[in-house]
Amino acid sequence: MDLPRIFTIRESSHRIHNPFTPDKLAALGRALHLAPGTRVLDLASGSGEMLCTWARDHRITGTGVDISTVFTTQARARAAELGVADRVTFVHGDATGYVADEPVDLAACVGATWIGGGVAGTVDLLAGSLRPGGLMLVGEPYWRQQVPDQETARACLAGDADDFLVLPELVARFGDLGYDVVEMVLADQDSWDRYQAAQWLNLRRWLDGNPDDDLAAEVRAELRTEPVRYTRYQREHLGWGVFALIGR
């Protein structure tokens, strides 16, 4: 049970595995007015930057669950580095279907709604761990503008133009599911660049050091195609944000 190795190669220098910068992650924490002792569950927690920095800055406690052995190891090391290993715990496991033993104050899935089969399923999954009146965080892509055709949608890594909604429709979707949207912090093109473009250097450095690896041809192919694909399609059409929800 793990992520494909190519994924961890791409994001080997990343502490945040989505198009948020540290400033945006910090802005989200401030916007939520987190009280000391807030109990957080973070599903698909990656390298643990959200839990670790919020434990340091806001004195939350929490558990992160992630399928990647590499990222879980990095998360535990980050907790030790920031002196918060007594406040946050990281579990290597499949976040799909994971429910906390006791209700939490904040349940999050920031950028991995595939664990619930989409937004609606992920909201249902998070609700199973959330105390009444608790706060839910969902990170999700959206179309910055309606995509003109299926080619563009697929070039933005969507299987279909209907896979994502434009921003007002996504916000309305949360309402349809019975939740008020009470905060949001959105990625911008610069933070997308920092997420995507940093992968290209990671890939190139890895390829230079591992030219005979079984993955070398795949990595070389990505380096040939990804910068053009991203700048031609994804940068203009795909947005991403984290939305804070409270059930009605």
The CATH architecture to which 5-247 belongs is 3-Layer(aba) Sandwich (3.40)
Q: Are 36 and 9 in contact (CB under 8 A)?
A: no
Segment 56-80 mean pLDDT: 98
Domain-wise residue ranges, the chain: 5-247
By CB neighbour count within 10 A (0-12 exposed, 13-18 middle, 19+ buried), where does 82 fall? middle
pTM above 0.75, yes or no: yes
Residues comprising the chain, all counted: 248
Q: Are 62 and 84 in contact (CB under 8 A)?
A: no
Segment 76-88 mean pLDDT: 98
Pairing of strands 88-92, 61-66: parallel
Q: Residues 89-110: pLDDT tens digits? A: 999 999 999 999 999 999 999 9
**Contact partners, residue 102, CB within 8 Å, separation at least 6:** 39
Alpha helices in the chain (DSSP H): 5-10, 22-31, 49-58, 69-81, 119-127, 150-155, 167-176, 189-209, 216-229, 235-237
Terminal-to-terminal C-alpha distance of the chain: 36
Q: Are 171 and 181 in contact (CB under 8 A)?
A: yes
The pLDDT value recorded for residue 2 is: 86
Torsion angle in degrees (nearest 10) through CA of 200, 211, 9, 195: 0
Q: Residues 115-144: pLDDT tens digits? A: 999 999 999 999 999 999 999 999 999 999
Tokens read off for 9: 């190669």
